[in-house]
Chains A and B, each alone.
Chain A
Amino acid sequence: MSPDIRPLVAVVSARYRTLLQYRAAAFAGFATQLFWGSIRLMILAAFFAATTEPQPMDLPQIVAYVWLGQALLGMLPWNVDADFREQVRDGTVAYDLLRPLDLYSYWFGRTLAFRVAAPTLRGIPMVLFSMVLLPLVGLGDWALIPPAHAVAFAGFVASLVLAAMLATAITLLAHISLLWTISGVGMDRVLTGLVTVFSGLTVPLPLFPDWLQPFLNWQPFRGLADVPYRIYSGNIPSAEIAGELVFVFVWTIALVLLGRLILLRGVRRMVVQGG
């Protein structure tokens, strides 16, 4: 790897600027996510109203979990970049080898931009809506609470950066797998299922049965949503934040190394088979 990251910064920013052009898609996405967020809130609230057992999270923490999930949905690695899929299909990806860059880093940059662009467009309005607008119209109980405390906020920001890296590493694995499967439709389905359940997006992970918790606690998808959202709301105590960050970091490194290994074989295949 080169110590000079100027090319990668440029690649990320160029792709990011391109993706920011899709404003209509962002608006539609915002509306959809608002709808689903409200439904999930109502279901979880009904669950809380019915239960008599003490729960691992309180309702404001759950509400924060749901709104953050809706705001940052686009960052989850639940799909592949259609642009990339097109390039694999028509063979143009091979031409990325014409650039004097490490291919994995180059693609990591492209993928990172793809993962981060959508939540910038949809996330900010979602946070404004859930944090500012809801209390103004008297729905304060359903509003996104501010971060629990300063440490929680700092931890949230750090875990969000790591979550973006982790999401990119996972998406990039899916992108690399396209070199074999080409179509990418199956990959989208598998990813969506895995990611929405195991990141905590569908149901917050602490609400899963106890016997599942050891498994849930060690799988990488947690780092995408469960970890940052619970750090934000203070559900993960300050003392445990550092450990959680290390957990996500280690998984990210492991998936990056795995991606590099598979890409090495993919490139061999690509340069043997041609564009």
Chain B
Amino acid sequence: MPQIEVRGLAKTFRVAERLPGLAGAFRGLFHRRMRDVHALGGVDFDIERGELVGYIGPNGAGKSTTIKILAGILNPTAGTCRVDGLTPWRDRRRHVAHIGVVFGQRTQLWWDLPVIESFDLLRDIYRIPAAAYRDNRDRLIALMDLEPLLDVPVRQLSLGQRMRSDLAAALLHGPSLLFLDEPTIGLDAVSKLAIRDFVRELNREAQVTVLLTTHDMDDIEALCERVMVIGNGRILVDTSVDGLRRRVRNERILVVDYDSAGEAATVDAPALVAEGEGVRSVERDASRVRIAFDPDRLPAATLIGQLLALGTPHDLFIEHPPIEQTVAELYAEHDMRER
């Protein structure tokens, strides 16, 4: 049985519409026009125990709404959801006792308390047995390198330090399920890597199920095997990272370095393939050439063979297109369908 089972989950917010200008504000006192905003329009998915799933989509697509419903702090308008057999918003207290939640945008630590006191407070709030707490705390402190931060009030931490502390805080009670809502937002490269390594460890070693929302496709590539893409309140794609790439278009990029710009200039599309088949674009930048091609129509070996016939490259390698581009195309494609 999947750990998370979501069927037909829908959420509609009613918001008061404000009319523009002073006259509008005055009319609003007597007559309010309400507008329905469909944040989620019927979402289905399963997540198995131990999975690490990326959940991506443009701003306002419904990612955070989904997470809030799964975490039990928001009621859906329709649909069902079972997490370890519990309905989050109905069995809230039992449910939240074994999940961990981290919101990148806001800390859940106590702003004025030193980190270690926040941890102790969480021990009491979650009623963690003393021995389990000591083990968990010491392991998390070591893993996240928190030792020097323990006596610092949370408000004085840098964003990266705060995020590491927040992650540790969300795991003190040993949850079997972790929701991460944009955990790397605004972090520098080193902090991002630390967070990624940690989440990967946690998922592999401790078998913690992770649902991760992010705008950073490097997070997805580094961590997730499975990606769900949400747009306008619906799941558009639920597939592997490779499947996501393939879904939009199958493309590889061959990067070729020559010794001189002159040599590089001899490479162009007509010279490579008689009919221009399979080569999507050729970009030159001094002595480097980037050839985008479709590996189904033009095998990489054939392309390289043709290149070698033209000259002797200094070096060559094949890249995937950045997943950002793939996702951007997917969003665009969907918007076109929608309107």
Contacts and interface: CB of A to CB of B under 8 A. Distances in A.
Interface of A: 4, 6-7, 9-11, 14, 17-18, 21, 92, 94-95, 97-102, 268, 271-275
Contacts of B72: 97-98
Contacts of A101: 93, 125
B13 A273 contact: yes
Contacts, number: 70
A98 B121 contact: no
B117 interface: yes
Most buried by B among A94, A97, A268: A97
A14 B121 CA distance: 7
A95 B120 CA distance: 19
A198 B126 CA distance: 40
Contacts of B75: 268, 271-272
Given A14-B121, A94-B73, A98-B73, 10 more contacts: A7-B125, A7-B126, A10-B125, A14-B110, A14-B117, A95-B108, A97-B92, A98-B71, A98-B96, A274-B13
A99 B13 contact: no
Interface in B96-129: 96-97, 101, 103, 106, 108, 110, 112-113, 117, 120-121, 124-127
Nearest to B126: A100
Contacts of B133: none
B89 interface: yes
- Please name the 6 residue pairs, one residue from A and one from B, whose CB atoms are nearest each other, closest first: A10-B124, A100-B97, A97-B73, A18-B112, A271-B75, A7-B125
A97 B125 CA distance: 12
Nearest to B125: A7
B154 to A, nearest CB: 11
Nearest to B71: A98
A61 to B, nearest CB: 41
Interface of B: 13, 65, 68, 71-75, 89, 92-94, 96-97, 101, 103, 106, 108, 110, 112-113, 117, 120-121, 124-127
A100 B128 CA distance: 12
30 contacts: A6-B124, A6-B127, A7-B124, A7-B125, A7-B126, A11-B121, A11-B125, A18-B110, A18-B112, A18-B113, A92-B106, A94-B68, A94-B74, A95-B73, A95-B103, A98-B71, A98-B101, A98-B108, A99-B125, A99-B126, A100-B97, A100-B126, A100-B127, A268-B75, A271-B74, A271-B75, A273-B13, A274-B68, A274-B74, A275-B68
Contact of B127 (A7, A21, A95, A271): A7
Nearest to A270: B73
Given A95-B103, A271-B75, A100 B93 contact: yes
Nearest to B112: A18
Contacts of B124: 6-7, 9-11
A97 B93 CA distance: 8
Contacts of B112: 18, 21
B66 to A, nearest CB: 12
Nearest to A102: B93
A10 B94 contact: no
Contacts of A98: 71-73, 96, 101, 108
Contacts of B73: 94-95, 97-98, 271, 275
Contacts of A11: 121, 124-125
A273 B34 CA distance: 13
Nearest to B95: A100
Contacts of A10: 120-121, 124-125
A78 B136 CA distance: 43
A85 to B, nearest CB: 15
B106 A271 contact: no
A102 B96 CA distance: 12
B213 to A, nearest CB: 15
Most buried by A among B96, B108, B117, B124: B124
Nearest to A273: B13
Given A14-B117, A18-B112, A100 B74 contact: no
Contacts of B103: 95
Contacts of A18: 110, 112-113
Nearest to B99: A98
A274 B125 contact: no
Nearest to B117: A14
A97 B127 contact: no
A94 B127 CA distance: 21
Contacts of B108: 95, 98
Contacts of A274: 13, 65, 68, 74
B14 to A, nearest CB: 8
A100 B110 contact: no
Contacts of A9: 124
A154 B47 CA distance: 60
A268 B74 CA distance: 9
Contacts of A95: 73, 103, 106, 108
A107 B161 CA distance: 28
A161 B117 CA distance: 27
Nearest to B106: A92
Contacts of A100: 93-94, 96-97, 125-127
Contacts of A97: 72-73, 92, 96
A18 B117 CA distance: 11
B120 to A, nearest CB: 7
A102 B106 CA distance: 22
A273 B77 CA distance: 11
